[in-house]
Structure 1
Amino acid sequence: MLAGCTVGPNFQPDRMKVPAGFKEAAEEKPATPEQIARTDKEMTEWWASFNDPILTRLVEDAIKGNYDLQEAGQRILAERALRDKAASAWYPQMDANAGGGDVRYSINIDNWPLRPGNPANQPEASMLTYGMSATWEIDVFGRIRRAVEAHERSVETSIEGRRALLMMLLSELANDYMLLRVTQLQIQIATDNIKVAKDSFDLANRLYLEGVGNTLQTAQAQAELDSQIAAREPLKTHVSQISHAISVLTGKMPGELEDELKVVRPLPKVPEFPATMPSIVIANRPDIRAAEKQYAMATAEVGVAVADLYPHFVIPLNFNPNASAMYQAFQANAMSWQFLMMASLPLMHGGKYTATIRAAQAAAEASRLHYRQTVLNGFKEVEDAMAAWHDDIEYAEQLHKASEDSALARDRARRLYAAGLIGFLDVLTAERTTLDAQNHEALSRLERLRDAVNLYTAIGAGWRGVALTSSSLPVSLQTQNAWAQAFQQ
């Protein structure tokens, strides 16, 4: 009956009209059950699709050890405690008291009545008192229910916030790992080019000794060799810095994983494009889920504001005997108590309550609009990630072809220079072109890997199946007093 008296609007999800699928998905035919099962698994553990055991282990370490993630978990526990605190208003609030001592009253007041038990009207008296007080608010119009509902939505919002943090953490970790492997590939490319530059220097020096070359060519060859050696050093520094970043993301000290990560491994495998991609997958995004929870919380807060316009019903209970001697404290004459039914209704407050309602309504509408904008941004990020995935395939293939062609041109230039048919400048140009092409190809492979990570992040994959780790300070009710255990204060 009381629930039927709850005032304020009930939350209704805002249903936007969205397309059935993504434009950039380009699904040519329906997916098979096997493909659907594979896609569903990738929604849970997308990092496993790269077939890199080191990456998989780093992800597991980050989920267990990242301190930002653990901090977010503690904020969820704090929000749950605040919800329980709000829910405690449903129950009677009861306190006990006891005391005693000497008191003195003023007698400089005309017609001061004689106090019971003190016929001489002496200013001093001894007093012993004990008793209890209680109050119970009857939640007729749902003010407490709406407050608890708002706190419950706040808990759900904090859960989605942790999921969003988890997704960003895994995305950053995966991108750092991909960058680490590509940087190691660039170091290998630089090392190979140093060897090529050393061979070119030896060739220029040999031709000079044979009287075919000149000192300019040997100086150019030496400068090119020095440049190639110098260009490799910043890459080594970058590898160390990325290793430090990965260590911190997994909850370890910088440098703790450096020795392991510096071991050169092949680039992770680029996974296949998801076989099926209906637009409903965007509902997995924690930011969209959090925006909807915030809208629900703002709607509940409108109900709290509306309930303040209605009467508040409170049952106060006070039992407070007092006497001057211990043997008198439990006599009938020492008894003092009150048991009432109180109701209060706001009459005139200059528009304070109606202004609060208008503010709550505006905040709820702002939350609804924010939810819609979050959905649009989510669709944009997914479409962008899909477009990059498809376009970068051809981009990487063309750069691979350019790298092979430039390496062929470099080899031919060296042979022509050895035969005296071209100058050494042509050899330098060919070597630099080859180096640029190889580095661009390596970076294109990094983009292909990042495209996959960004797509999985955009569709909200990776947080399902990761449970909240509950950790707290070593304080429990079992170690507290008996009253805390008995009455769950």
Structure 2
Amino acid sequence: MLGLAMLLAGCKVGPAYRAPTAVVPGNWSEHRATAEELARTQARMRRWWGSFDDPMLDRLVDRTIRGNYDLQIAGERLLAARALRDQIASQLYPQVDVLGAGGIQRYSTTLQYPPLPGISSDNRLWEYGTTVSWQLDLFGRLRRSVEAQDAAVQAGVEQRRGLLLSTLAEVASDYCSLRVTQQQLGIAKKNIAAADDALKLTQKVYTQGLGTTLQVAQAQAQLETEQATVQPLQTRIAQLSHALAILAGELPASFEAELAQPASPPTVPALPVALPSAVIANRPDIRERERQFAQATARVGVAVAQLYPSFTLPLSFTPMASMVHELFTASSLAWSALLQASIPVYHGGGLAAQVREARANAEAARLSYQNTVLHAFGEVEDRLVAFNNDAVRADTLHKAARDDALALDRARRLYAAGLSGFLDVLTAERSAYAGENAAALGELARMQDAIALFVALGAGWQGVDLHDNPLPVDEQQQHAEAAAHRTP
């Protein structure tokens, strides 16, 4: 009995999986995290978009999580991967089928001449039975296949998490861009009003005999130039609104009314920091590569098992009779119980080549993991540098915008007093408009740096529970739709 149990349990050939290790730096070169910073970041990792302190952004993210079609598609593919895993695992168990048949068979009477007298060529047949086939997984080929598909399913989970992070990052980036573009539109309208005031001023100075028609024409051209900046900004606002609606799985115009009212751009959160080891634990792309390495390692076992014999137990029980009442008699019984074995002898080196291929794929998967970790560390380092440097740049741009506004005010006063030419006013206006826009874009760069840094740290999926999506219609409805479209 013990020997039979050991025979059925078998063994699993091929290498046992060991998680890869990566060389992790002690800390980031650009910033040494304190314990307080690490605790603050950990609390914000689950829903980092809340750090921007914008209720509208929170609502957009929630609607995107519920309605985004890419996430739903990824969910369905994950369901398919799990179903495939169950299909593979089902081969570990006996495959049982029940059959039944009844009717009349007619045999040819031309096969023997002359035909035997009194023998009918018609034959009534009644049959029922059961067939069982059980593939004994003595060397672990099926179990390694299940192991590989388990890892594939887990890799699919991480892939969907990565898609979630990129989608949420796109929502946050588009929303921040929308609010900053609305801010730019406000700046443009303010500058149009200022340019209109400048035109009226030049016309007044001209009527007083202190100006020229050249100055009036220059002021008119400046006003028209400022007016021409409005339409591109309005187009950009509409496009961003459409993009946000599509990300949420809604019609493009769904958010236009909701987002039409300008609002202040989101608040740039404090610098999120984390230890390098946390990046390995949180980034979906790293976790996906680790699972792919586990899958490739299991595939080596599948290939090695092909070198060993395979055993199958086909069993059948099929009583047959010409009369129904005879089906349950001993004389109608037909059955078979066999043990089939297939031993690979010579395949021209093909099986050994499969093993080499599987081992090479496993090594490639391990190197891909190492490469992904390396690039992840580099990405975080880059995001930290950009976050810190763009913060300094944004402060400088704000100071420049204030100085440009002061210079414009002084240029207008001097021109009104006849102490300077209108060219100074035009130069100051252009500089002030460019300075305000540059300051707004500088703030946008800081917001996008923060978004990119959170994503680089692998934050965001921890606080989102992505349930498996149900099928879009039930089986009965599918049959009804198929019948409705069936050609006559």
Unmatched segments (≥5 aa) in structure 1: 481-489
Q: Which amino acid aligns with 2:65?
A: I
Instruction: Tell me the distance in 1 between the aligned counterparts of 2:132 and 2:32.
Output: 67
Tell me what 2:368 maps to. Answer: 370
Distance, in Å, in 2 between the alignment partners of 1:265 and 1:195 is 21
**1:119 Cα shift?**
10
Once residues 307 and 213 of structure 2 are traced to their aligned partners in structure 1, the CA distance between those partners, rounded to angstroms, is: 96
* C-alpha deviation, 1:3, in angstroms: 5.5
CA shift at 1:468, angstroms? 2.2
In the superposition, relative to structure 1, how do residues 108 and 8 fare at CA in structure 2: closer, same or farther (>3 Å)?
farther
RMSD (Å), alpha carbons: 2.2
SS in 2 for 1:100: strand
Tell me how far 1:232 sits from its aligned partner: 1.3
AA aligned opposite 1:85:
Q
**Letter of the 1:31 counterpart:** A
1:11 aligns with 2:8: no
> 3-state DSSP class of the match of 2:411?
helix
**What residue in structure 1 maps to residue 82 of structure 2?**
80
Any residues of structure 2 matched to 1:38-77 within 5 Å, and which? Answer: 38-77=40-79
**Under a length normalisation based on structure 1, what TM-score does the superposition of the two structures give?**
0.92
Deviation at 1:476, TM superposition (A): 7.3
Q: 1:435-446 maps to which residues of 2 (within 5 A)?
A: 435-446=433-444
CA distance in 1, matches of 2:298, 2:109: 55
Kept in 2: contact 1:31–1:275 (CA 8 A): no
Number of residues of Structure 1 aligned to a counterpart in Structure 2: 471
Aligned mates of 1:192, 1:461 — CA distance in 2? 39
What whole-Å deviation, never above 9, does each CA across 1:231-250 have from its counterpart, x for those lacking one? 11110111111011111111
SS in 2 for 1:23: coil
Q: What's the offset of the Cα at 1:274?
A: 2.4
CA distance in 1: counterparts of 2:113 and 2:380, whole angstroms: 85
Pairwise CA distance, 1:253? 1.1
Query: Which runs of structure 2 are paired with 1:135-214 in the superposition (5 Å)?
Result: 135-214=133-212
Offset of 1:4 from its aligned partner?
6.3
Tell me how far 1:283 sits from its aligned partner: 2.5
Distance 2:455 2:202 in 1: 52
How far does residue 105 in structure 1 lie from its aligned partner after superposition? 3.7
Contact 2:61–2:171 (8 Å) recurs in 1: yes
- Tell me the equivalent position of 2:229: 231
- Name which of 21, 30, 46 aligns with 1:24: 30
Q: Does 1:263 align with 2:261?
A: yes
Deviates more, 1:183-192 or 1:317-326: 317-326
Q: Could you list the runs of 5+ residues in structure 2 that have no partner in the other structure?
A: 1-5, 480-488
Q: Decide whether the 8 Å contact of 1:8 with 1:306 is kept in 2.
A: yes
Three-state SS of the structure 1 residue aligned to 2:218 is helix
Matches within 5 A, 1:37-436: 37-106=39-108, 122-274=120-272, 276-436=274-434
Deviation string 1:111-146 (CA, Å, 9 cap, x unpaired) is: 99x9xxx99665442222211111111111111100
Identify the range of structure 1 (328-337 vs 387-396) with the bigger mean alpha-carbon deviation.
328-337
CA 1:437–1:147: 2 relative to 1, 3 Å: same
Compared with structure 1, are the counterparts of its residues 108 and 231 closer, same or farther at alpha carbon in structure 2 (3 Å cutoff)?
same
8 A contact 2:316–2:337 mirrored in 1:
yes
For residues 354 and 361 of structure 2, what CA distance do their matches in structure 1 show? Answer: 11
C-alpha separation in 1, matches of 2:63 and 2:474 = 27
- In 2, the alpha carbon distance for the partners of 1:339 and 1:54 equals 70
Cα distance change on mapping 1:355 and 1:108 into 2, 3 Å: farther
1:333–1:10 Cα change, 3 Å? same
Structure 1 distance, partners of 2:273, 2:347, is 62
How far does the alpha carbon of each residue in 1:253-294 deviate from its partner, in whole angstroms, 9 at most, with x for none? 111111111111111111111254344334311011001111
Shifted more, 350-359 versus 395-404: the winner is: 350-359
Cα deviation, 1:199-218, whole Å, max 9, x if unaligned, reads: 11011000000000011110
Contact 2:141 2:301 in 1 (8 A): yes
- Structure 2 distance, partners of 1:279, 1:6, is 33
CA positional deviation for 1:307: 0.8
The one-letter code of the counterpart of 1:321 is P
2:486 corresponds to: none
* 300-309 vs 323-332, greater mean Cα deviation: 323-332
SS of residue in 2 equivalent to 1:255: helix
Letter in 2 for 1:24: E
Counterpart AA for 1:250: A
Identity of aligned residues (%): 49
* 1:25 match: secondary structure: coil
Tell me the SS of whatever aligns to 1:221.
Answer: helix
Contact 2:300 2:362 in 1 (8 A): yes
Which position in structure 2 is the counterpart of 1:467? 465
**2:10–2:137: 8 Å Cα contact kept in structure 1?**
no
Q: Contact 2:303/2:351 (CA < 8 Å) preserved in 1?
A: yes
8 Å contact kept, 1:20–1:280: no
- For the residue of structure 1 that corresponds to 2:267, the secondary structure is coil
Using a 3 Å threshold, how does the CA distance of structure 1 residues 111 and 456 change in structure 2: closer, same or farther? farther
The one-letter code matched in structure 2 to 1:71 is: I
